[in-house]
Copies of this chain bind each other. A is one copy, B any other.
Amino acid sequence: MAKKKTSIKDIARSLGISITTVSFILNGKAKEKRISEELTLKVEAYIKEVGYKPSHLAQSLRLGKSKVIVFMVEDISNQFFASIARKIEERAYKNGYKIIYCSTDNDPEKAKALIDTFKVRSVDGFIITPTPALESTVVELIEEEFAVLLFDRWIPSIDCSYVVVENEISAFEATTHLIQNGCKNIGFIIVESDQMQMIDRLKGYGNAVESHGLQKNVFMLPFHTISESVAINKIQEYIQNNNDLDGLFFATNYLAFEGLQALNNLKKRIPEDLLVVSFDDHYFFTLFQPNISAIEQPLESIAEKLMEGMLMLLEDDEKSKQDFKVVLPNILHVRESSDFKK
């Protein structure tokens, strides 16, 4: 097996013509550049025969475009991000793009370091779930004319394209749903964070509760929650200390999983003792007994918009680069955990 790949030069030499001619033909510019049809066919046949494929590296170097998109998320092993990864993959490949992933752990230093290495690699675009304190880095990226698209959360202080969901509206809706089903004291369990999606969910919950004349009751776990078992314990304590809770709204599915463990440990019955609803739907919620009500983010639409936006940012040279701003609606699935009738 030949280790050495055939290059455009080899082809030119073998056929006794110039590199330029071969390149024109390869790039479909034969007509435009007035290469005779006879020669064109001959070259094309030869290319097919030897199975020549141009080197992407050389092309990238020459054209200044690498056809690589970075997918930078908090944690690629998180089901939500992994699902999006899967769905944008198809679309990217179809358009000749490859995707490099990386996880930030929501650590600004790590995120910055990663972005730095990728700049050097001359990637074309970035799809980012921003960590805190990433404003200036993102602004820099945009100024250096990379295609940048935020998702899951956006950064209010800067002008940058994004794809997010209606966090506030859906949290409002889910809370209202609990109230309509009789809850008077709904605990909202959230992780301490300045991420916009969390802030918005909290806001939606708060507005719904207050607009019905009820009291807010928020339990905030520290962000770097030491471990899962500690988190479970803390939630358990919270529930015990608030014995009159009749509803629980979890801000993410991971919190819900921990919360369900806590409720189970406390022998609390759902929905008899309290109603439960969670943000971020999950396969488990329909497997769990009782089924858990949840707000589903539209993964398919998110992925679709993400690639639509990214391709637009990548291809259009002239249009304003910061105007792809999409907010998608979620779907509230009412299940047994929040509805006696089910």
Q: Which residues of A contact B (CB under 8 A)?
A: 1, 3, 53-58, 60-61, 66, 68, 75-79, 82-83, 85-87, 89, 93, 98-103, 114, 116-117, 119-122, 140, 143-145, 257, 260-261, 264, 283-284, 287-289
Cβ contact of A93, chosen from B68, B102, B145, cutoff 8 A: B102
Question: How many angstroms between the C-alpha atoms of A117 and B76 in the bound complex?
Answer: 24
Cβ contact of A103, chosen from B60, B89, B122, cutoff 8 A: B89
Question: How many angstroms between the C-alpha atoms of A55 and B61 in the bound complex?
Answer: 9
Which residue, A68, A76, A264, has most C-beta atoms of chain B within 10 A?
Answer: A76
27 A-B contacts (beta carbon < 8 Å)? A1-B143, A3-B144, A53-B116, A55-B120, A56-B120, A56-B121, A58-B61, A68-B100, A76-B85, A76-B86, A77-B83, A77-B85, A77-B86, A78-B82, A79-B79, A82-B85, A85-B101, A86-B103, A89-B101, A89-B103, A98-B121, A99-B100, A99-B101, A100-B100, A257-B283, A284-B284, A289-B289
What is the distance, in angstroms, from A81's C-beta to the closest C-beta of chain B? Answer: 8
Closest to A286 in B: B261
Question: How many angstroms between the C-alpha atoms of A257 and B288 in the bound complex?
Answer: 10
Residue numbers in B under 8 Å from A114 (CB-CB): 93
Residue numbers in B under 8 Å from A75 (CB-CB): 86
Closest to A3 in B: B145
Closest to A113 in B: B93
Residue numbers in B under 8 Å from A143 (CB-CB): 1
Closest to A119 in B: B53
CB atoms of A264 and B283 under 8 A apart = no
- In the A-B complex, list the 5 residue pairs whose CB atoms are closest, starting with the nearest: A77-B86, A82-B82, A1-B143, A77-B82, A53-B120
The secondary-structure label for the interface of chain A is helix
What is the distance, in angstroms, from A25's C-beta to the closest C-beta of chain B? Answer: 18
What is the distance, in angstroms, from A49's C-beta to the closest C-beta of chain B? Answer: 17
What is the distance, in angstroms, from A56's C-beta to the closest C-beta of chain B? Answer: 5
CB atoms of A264 and B288 under 8 A apart = no
Do A122 and B283 contact each other (CB < 8 Å), given the known contacts A76-B85, A76-B89, A89-B76? no
CB atoms of B54 and A120 under 8 A apart = yes
Closest to A71 in B: B101
Question: How many angstroms between the C-alpha atoms of A164 and B157 in the bound complex?
Answer: 48
Do A82 and B76 contact each other (CB < 8 Å), given the known contacts A101-B101, A143-B1? yes
Question: How many angstroms between the C-alpha atoms of A309 and B169 in the bound complex?
Answer: 49
What is the distance, in angstroms, from A114's C-beta to the closest C-beta of chain B? Answer: 8
CB atoms of A57 and B53 under 8 A apart = no
Which residue, A58, A98, A140, A288, has most C-beta atoms of chain B within 10 A?
Answer: A98
CB atoms of A140 and B61 under 8 A apart = no
Residue numbers in B under 8 Å from A284 (CB-CB): 284, 287
Cβ contact of A287, chosen from B56, B68, B78, B260, cutoff 8 A: B260
Residue numbers in B under 8 Å from A117 (CB-CB): 93, 98
What is the distance, in angstroms, from A109's C-beta to the closest C-beta of chain B? Answer: 14
Residue numbers in B under 8 Å from A287 (CB-CB): 257, 260-261, 284, 288
CB atoms of A57 and B98 under 8 A apart = no
CB atoms of A122 and B89 under 8 A apart = no
Residue numbers in B under 8 Å from A288 (CB-CB): 287-288
